[in-house]
């Protein structure tokens, strides 16, 4: 047993010299592919194109663990398969190499982030190469390299120079907008813009000075500056995107995040909200992921309504005449009994009457103190304050009090709601709490204990819509409001414009300088604007971003922007760069883009659902609007690979004695604990323990007696023990490598162990996140050293469906390794001499072959890689049983296996006498159904749906003959037991069911 453990991290010692030598084979072919650029993709060929893309990684310092390559292996199998199917395949890889971890490291060590990044990339590359991917490395991109971020900056400039024309429903150039302003003023412009744009005539525009014109244009640009409330993370010294904040803490690092007002670059993604939503119906993505994007975009159809302010009181000199609300249930307007505005609403101060000022101030103070987290945890408590002011209902003139409450969010809609307690549960609770009226408005509504948001029934208490149904009522109310000029149908989106700036160093500099407080683009020929060197990677003493430290970094006309672009900038267009990675004139040539068009298959994690995948679609649509790319959607088909979780192992130690106890023994001990505690007789106990295979010693009972709880029969007790994570790399199939464990700490060497009867120490296990602190990280390098890349590739696929999340468990990898050795043996004799015959194949051999040809084809097309691995095993098992070593079979079999296990396939392919490397572009064997045709079928015969026996019959027989033959069968007669069947169902070639 000890020797078994000695082998743990060593390559398999194979008994014969010429057995499957994966190490030599894999190194040889990886070298060959690199030297011969086997997987170089051409931008023009007569073959149809196919673009297989992986989400490129951020090269972290920890390197790859076994979960990372899962998606890469799947996409590589697919890419290799598509090559065999005659496609010109683009399958590139690169690095999303700007990002926070390298910068954090730089702050701690003073090491330049580019140095760290370079080193990490080298590690990634080495690990990726070992797995045998068919990437075209000539097209590698790195987002942090100047010849890449030059084009990220260039796209930023195009966004800056564009505005969104709603009439044309696309982005257009700012020059065109200026033209319009010069000839017609602001009239006739239907744009997505800031809210407070000016109205002016053509002359008015010309009368503006340059400053004023620029300030106005900034309100239209697709990337623009505005003061916005941002998620400020003081510990990281930066602003975070909404999707980087989790429950009020930063996703990376878990530092507190607060709301802060800052001048920020933003991207007008909201201009594309509708197109982003509609585009989802045209792409083949997982439904949950599309749903996430739909929720994120958050379209709601409703109406905006203006409630005129009742100026009879102190409000006579107010500038505004109304409060505007957004509602999705404008039909319930006659049920409005109060208005609620957000505590941050701009009108709060003005609306507060002197008598209510104390209440309102107290409430605002209280709200501000509540952290984001409290506000979320505390959705049940009703709170609010009355401003003292009133508005009137635009349709019936009713006087309506205006309240403030934090259940209304300043950032959504207009920051104000019309409260209809009969139809909305939050309004209902609020009304109950503050004793406000609840007006029923639908005849079938039941509002005794809670709000009833039904749309069924007809309206009551609702003036001119009384008696109508939901649809007519809504239309009637909207028409009326439009007549009055106090409301209109409106679509509202939850999605906000994306913040596009970070107060950090390690990112793309924004190609902008400031003059007179306004931003101007640098000249295009000065791109890239290089990231300057700085002395420390920290904010300046005056609180400016790190770039404020750069000396002499200044545009002749003014100061450069000091913030850098966010992490998603470089990843929002990278798939185009792969098409033409070395172009220094354009981000990619027109020809390359027109040839490759879009990504046919994109594989990556679902964690990018609302970040990368939304921003990428946005930039893609913009690039299409300005005529630079050809497809509306960048990723035609997308697959989420499931997350690989860790599988942790634990060892147990009894608190009293310090002995380590094997898990199964511990379980027995625990199960037996209560019984043992009943007896104080050492002899009885010793017997009981012996029955468990445990050594008994007086005093062990005390282990339970700690924390004991008295019961009526005696004592129910708890055994005191500790569980500790143990490194999964010294555990195999939950059996601990005791020798290694003892060596890991001197204390463990001298400890005592309670083992299983066979001398093993069994660990328990649990599924957790894969992380160093849980000692459950499995490194692909170790597995490759032991079993080879082909085994790793196939095992990762064998683990289960690609899209399913699952814990990593190395148990079972041997089965795949054995399979590859068995496969190798098909081509070799008992002494491992290559031995393939040219005899004609038998029917059975051809059947095995064509079964797998068909199966692999079907499986790959539906991304079911795990089932093909099983099928390969079945095929090899069958051919082994048939003792088949015929070229006619094996040659085709090697091709079908090549996408999964490319190294062994290359080796055997050349041994078969084919030119080296040619398997990558060999033709996938043609499936011939004729070889699968059977003339007999063993019909399962069920009685009332329960399978009892099989009867073999010719497949040419028709239903009536089958029925007769089955009923005549002796076995069937026995089950019938003289009874006459009520009914016999015969499905030809499938089943016979007899109803009795």
Which of 413, 519, 646, 780 lies at the binding interface for RNA (CB under 7 A)?
A: 413
The rounded distance, in Å, linking the Cα atoms of 508 and 560 is 13
327 sits near RNA (criterion: CB under 7 A): yes
Q: Which is nearer to RNA, 9 or 328 (CB)?
A: 328
DSSP letter string, 145-202 = SHHHHHHHHHHHHHHHTEEEETTTTEEEEHHHHHHHHHHHTTTT--EE--S------H
CB of 940 to RNA, least distance (A): 3
Kindly identify the residues of this chain, within the stretch 379-398, that bind RNA according to CB under 7 A: 379
Task: Report the residue number, 14 or 690, with the smaller CB distance to RNA.
Answer: 14
Written in H, E and C, the secondary structure of 579-631 is HHCCCCCCCCCHHHHHHHCCECEEEECHHHCCCHHHHHHHHHHHHHHCCCCCC
- Min dist. Cβ of residue 368 to RNA (A): 13
User: Of the candidates 314, 822, 847, 988, which one interacts with RNA according to CB under 7 A?
Assistant: 822
As beta bridge partners, residue 402 has 339
Total residues contacting RNA by CB under 7 A comes to 92
User: Are the CB atoms for 827 and 911 separated by under 8 Å?
Assistant: yes
The answer to whether the beta carbons of residues 601 and 77 sit under 8 Å apart is no
The CA–CA distances, whole Å, from 399 to 310, 340, 386, 475 equal 8, 14, 14, 24
Report the alpha-carbon distance of residue 478 to residue 330 in Å, rounded. 7
| Contacts by 695-700, CB closer than 8 A, 24 or more apart | 695/754, 699/656, 700/656, 700/657
758 binding RNA? (CB under 7 A)? yes
- Residues 549-608 binding RNA (CB under 7 A) are 606-607
Report the nearest approach of RNA to the CB of residue 572 (Å): 18
Exactly one of 610, 649, 848, 920 binds RNA (CB under 7 A); that residue is 610
Stretch that binds RNA, among 31-39, 320-328, 587-595, 826-834 (CB under 7 A): 320-328
The interface with RNA within residues 285-304 (CB under 7 A) comprises 287-288, 291-292, 295-296, 298, 300, 302
Binding mask 870-909 toward RNA (x if CB under 7 A, else -) reads: x--xx--x--------------------------------
Q: Which of 146, 801, 917, 981 binds RNA (CB under 7 A)?
A: 801
- What is the maximum span of the chain, computed from C-alpha positions, in angstroms? 109
Site track 663-702 with RNA (rule: CB under 7 A), x = hit: ----------------------------------------
Q: How far is residue 388's CA from residue 314's CA, in Å, rounded to a whole number?
A: 10
Specify whether the CB–CB gap between 54 and 605 falls below 8 A.
no
Question: φ, ψ for residue 251 (rounded to 5)?
Answer: -65, -40
Piece of the chain touching RNA by CB under 7 A; list 310-318, 373-381, 528-536, 896-904: 373-381
CB 100 → RNA: shortest distance, Å? 19
Stretch that binds RNA, among 166-174, 457-465, 743-751, 812-820 (CB under 7 A): 812-820
Least Å distance, CB 667 to RNA, is 12
Site for RNA in 57-116 (CB under 7 A): none
Nearer to RNA, 93 or 478 (CB): 478
Q: Out of 975, 976, 981, 988, which residue is the one contacting RNA (CB under 7 A)?
A: 975
Q: 197: which residues sit within 8 A by CB, 6+ positions away?
A: 186, 191, 216, 219, 220
Q: Map tokens 């069968």 to a residue.
A: 969
Site for RNA in 13-32 (CB under 7 A): 13-15
Cβ neighbours around 697 below 10 Å, total: 12
Question: Considering only residues 78, 224, 407, 931, which one is a binding residue for RNA as defined by CB under 7 A?
Answer: 407
Subset of 422-441 contacting RNA (CB under 7 A): 424, 426
Residues between 935 and 964 with contacts to RNA, criterion CB under 7 A:
938, 940, 942, 944-948, 950
CB 904 within 8 A of CB 827: no
Nearer Cβ to RNA (296/334): 296
Query: Which residue, among 556, 318, 327, 529, has the nearest Cα to 420 in the 3D structure?
Result: 327
> What does residue 934 show for φ and ψ, rounded to 5 degrees?
-110, 155
Question: Residue 954 CB, nearest distance to RNA (Å)?
Answer: 15
Site for RNA in 707-736 (CB under 7 A): 733, 735
Among 47, 112, 125, 375, interactor with RNA by CB under 7 A: 375
Judged by CB under 7 A, the chain residues 832 through 871 that form the site for RNA are 855, 858, 864, 866-867, 869-870
CB burial class (10 A; 0-12, 13-18, 19+) of residue 46? exposed
Residues within window 443-502 making contact with RNA, judged by CB under 7 A = 492, 494
From the list 825, 874, 834, the residue with the least C-alpha distance to 854 is 874
Q: Return the structure tokens found at 187.
A: 């009239």
Contact (CB, 8 A) for 524 and 150: no
For RNA, the closer of residues 186 and 735 by Cβ is 735
In this chain, which stretch among 404-412, 613-621, 687-695, 900-908 interacts with RNA, using CB under 7 A?
Answer: 404-412
Smallest separation, CB 788 to RNA (Å): 14
- Closest distance between RNA and the C-beta of residue 867, in Å? 5
Q: How far apart are the C-alpha atoms of 96 and 111, rounded to whole Å?
A: 19
Return the residue matching tokens 């989400």: 55
DSSP E strand stretches across 467-538: 487-493, 498-499, 512-515, 518-521
How many CA atoms within 13 Å lie on the side-chain side of 61? 13
- Which residues 237-296 are close enough to bind RNA by CB under 7 A? 242-243, 246, 287-288, 291-292, 295-296
Distance from C-alpha of 676 to C-alpha of 857, rounded to nearest angstrom = 61
Q: Which stretch binds RNA (CB under 7 A): 228-236, 395-403, 440-448, 792-800?
A: 792-800
Stretch that binds RNA, among 87-95, 458-466, 657-665, 818-826 (CB under 7 A): 818-826
Minimum distance, C-beta of residue 487 to RNA, in the bound complex (Å): 12
Residue 676 C-beta: closest distance to RNA, Å? 25
By beta-carbon proximity to RNA, the closer residue of 468 and 991 is: 991
Give the bridge partners for 653, in sequence order.
Answer: 660, 722
For RNA, which residue of 129, 631, 678, 814 counts as binding (CB under 7 A)? 814
Least distance in Å: CB of 146 to RNA? 33
| Backbone phi, psi, residue 881, to 5° | -60, -35
Shortest distance, position 783 Cβ to RNA, whole Å: 14
Close Cβ partners of 252 (under 8 Å, ≥ 6 residues apart): 100, 101, 236, 244
Our CA angle for 66, 72, 76, nearest 5°, is: 130
Residue 136, φ and ψ in degrees, nearest 5: -90, 90
- Shortest separation between residue 662's beta carbon and RNA, angstroms: 13
Instruction: CB nearer to RNA: give 583 or 805.
Output: 805
120 vs 993, beta carbon nearer RNA: 993
Contacting range for RNA; rule: CB under 7 A; set: 32-40, 348-356, 565-573, 983-991: 983-991
User: By CB under 7 A, what part of segment 166-225 binds RNA?
Assistant: none
Select from 42, 378, 482, 936 the one that contacts RNA (CB under 7 A): 378
Q: Which two tokens stand for residue 856?
A: 């692999």
Cβ-based nearer residue to RNA, 3 or 843: 3
């Amino acid at each position: 047993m000890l020797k078994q453990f000695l082998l743990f991290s060593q390559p398999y010692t194979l008994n014969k010299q010429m057995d499957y030598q994966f190490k030599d084979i894999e190194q040889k072919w990886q070298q060959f592919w690199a030297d011969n650029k086997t997987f170089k993709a051409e931008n023009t060929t007569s073959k149809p194109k196919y673009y297989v893309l992986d989400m490129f990684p951020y090269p972290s310092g920890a390197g790859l663990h076994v979960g990372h390559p899962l998606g890469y292996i799947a996409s590589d199998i697919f890419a290799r398969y598509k090559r065999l199917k005659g496609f010109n395949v683009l399958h590139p890889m690169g690095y999303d190499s700007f990002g926070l971890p390298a910068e954090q490291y730089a702050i701690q060590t003073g090491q330049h982030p580019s140095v760290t990044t370079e080193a990490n990339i080298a590690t990634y590359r080495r690990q990726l190469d070992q797995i045998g991917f068919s990437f075209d490395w000539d097209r590698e991109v790195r987002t942090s390299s100047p010849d890449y971020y030059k084009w990220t900056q260039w796209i930023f400039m195009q966004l800056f120079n564009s505005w969104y024309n709603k009439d044309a429903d696309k982005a257009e150039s700012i020059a065109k907008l200026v033209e319009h302003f010069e000839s017609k003023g602001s009239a006739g412009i239907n744009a997505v813009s800031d809210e407070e744009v000016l109205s002016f005539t053509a002359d008015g525009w010309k009368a503006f000075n340059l400053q004023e014109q620029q300030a106005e244009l900034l309100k239209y640009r697709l990337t623009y500056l505005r003061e916005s409330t941002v998620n400020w993370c003081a510990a990281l010294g930066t602003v975070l995107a909404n999707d980087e904040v989790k429950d009020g803490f930063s996703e990376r690092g878990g530092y507190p995040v607060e709301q802060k007002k800052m001048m920020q670059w933003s991207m007008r993604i909201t201009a594309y909200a509708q197109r982003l939503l509609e585009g989802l119906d045209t792409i083949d993505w997982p439904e949950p992921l599309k749903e996430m994007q739909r929720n994120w975009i958050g379209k709601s159809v409703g109406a905006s309504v203006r409630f005129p302010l009742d100026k009879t009181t102190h409000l006579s000199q107010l500038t505004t005449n109304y409060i505007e609300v957004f509602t999705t249930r404008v039909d319930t307007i006659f049920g409005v009994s109060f208005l609620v505005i957000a505590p941050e609403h701009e009108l709060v101060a003005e609306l507060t009457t002197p008598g209510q000022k104390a209440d309102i101030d107290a409430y605002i103070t209280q709200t501000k103190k509540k952290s984001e987290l409290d506000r979320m945890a505390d959705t049940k408590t009703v709170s609010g304050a009355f401003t003292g002011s009133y508005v009137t209902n635009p349709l019936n003139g009713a006087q309506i009090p205006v309240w403030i409450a934090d259940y209304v969010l300043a950032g959504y809609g207009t920051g104000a709601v019309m409260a209809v307690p009969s139809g909305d549960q939050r309004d209902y609770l609020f009304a109950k709490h503050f004793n406000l009226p609840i007006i029923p408005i639908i005849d079938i509504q039941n509002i005794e204990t809670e709000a009833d948001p039904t749309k069924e029934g007809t309206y009551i208490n609702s003036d001119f819509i009384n008696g109508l149904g939901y649809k007519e009522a809504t239309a009637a109310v909207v028409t009326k409001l439009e007549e009055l000029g106090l409301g209109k149908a409106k679509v509202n989106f939850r999605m906000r414009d994306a913040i596009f700036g970070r107060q950090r160093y390690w990112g793309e500099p924004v190609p902008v300088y400031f003059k007179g407080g306004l931003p101007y683009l640098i000249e295009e020929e000065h791109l890239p604007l290089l990231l300057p060197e700085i002395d420390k990677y920290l904010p300046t003493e005056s609180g400016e971003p790190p770039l404020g430290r750069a000396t002499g970094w200044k545009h002749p006309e003014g100061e450069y922007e000091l913030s850098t672009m966010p992490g998603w900038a470089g990843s929002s267009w990278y798939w185009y760069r792969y098409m033409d990675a070395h172009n220094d004139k354009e981000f990619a040539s027109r020809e390359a883009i027109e040839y490759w068009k879009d990504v046919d298959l994109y594989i990556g994690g679902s964690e990018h659902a609302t970040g990368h995948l939304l921003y990428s679609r946005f930039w893609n649509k913009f690039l299409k609007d300005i005529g630079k790319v050809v497809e509306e959607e960048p990723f035609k088909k997308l697959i989420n690979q499931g997350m690989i979780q860790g599988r942790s192992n634990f060892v147990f130690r009894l608190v009293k004695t310090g002995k380590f106890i094997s898990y199964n023994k511990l379980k027995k001990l625990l199960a037996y604990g209560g019984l043992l505690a009943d007896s104080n007789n050492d002899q009885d106990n010793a017997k009981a323990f012996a029955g468990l295979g445990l050594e008994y010693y007086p005093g062990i009972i005390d282990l339970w007696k700690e924390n004991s709880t008295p019961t009526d029969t005696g004592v129910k007790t708890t055994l005191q023990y500790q569980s500790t994570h143990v490194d999964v790399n010294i555990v195999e199939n939950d059996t601990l490598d005791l020798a290694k464990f003892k060596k890991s700490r001197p204390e463990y060497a001298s400890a005592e162990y309670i083992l299983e009867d066979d001398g093993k120490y069994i660990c328990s296990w649990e599924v957790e996140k894969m992380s160093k602190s849980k000692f459950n990280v499995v490194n692909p390098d170790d597995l490759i050293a032991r079993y080879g890349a082909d085994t790793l590739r196939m095992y990762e696929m064998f683990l289960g469906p690609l899209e399913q999340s699952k814990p990593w468990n190395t148990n079972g990898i041997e089965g795949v390794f054995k399979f590859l050795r068995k496969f190798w043996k098909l081509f070799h004799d008992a002494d491992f001499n290559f031995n393939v015959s040219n005899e004609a194949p038998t029917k059975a051999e051809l059947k095995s072959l064509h079964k797998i040809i068909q199966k692999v084809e079907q499986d790959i097309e539906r991304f079911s890689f795990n089932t093909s691995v099983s099928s390969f095993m079945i095929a090899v098992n069958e051919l082994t049983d048939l003792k088949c070593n015929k070229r006619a079979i094996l040659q085709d079999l090697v091709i079908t296996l090549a996408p999964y296990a490319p190294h062994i396939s290359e080796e055997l392919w050349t041994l078969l006498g084919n030119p080296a490397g040619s398997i990558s572009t060999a033709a996938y064997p043609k499936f011939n159904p004729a070889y699968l045709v059977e003339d007999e079928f063993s019909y399962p015969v069920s009685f009332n749906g329960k399978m009892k026996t099989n009867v073999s019959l010719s497949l040419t027989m028709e239903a009536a003959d089958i029925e007769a033959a089955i009923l005549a069968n002796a076995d069937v007669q026995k089950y019938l037991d003289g009874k006459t069947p009520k009914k016999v169902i015969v499905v030809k070639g499938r089943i016979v069911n007899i109803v009795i």
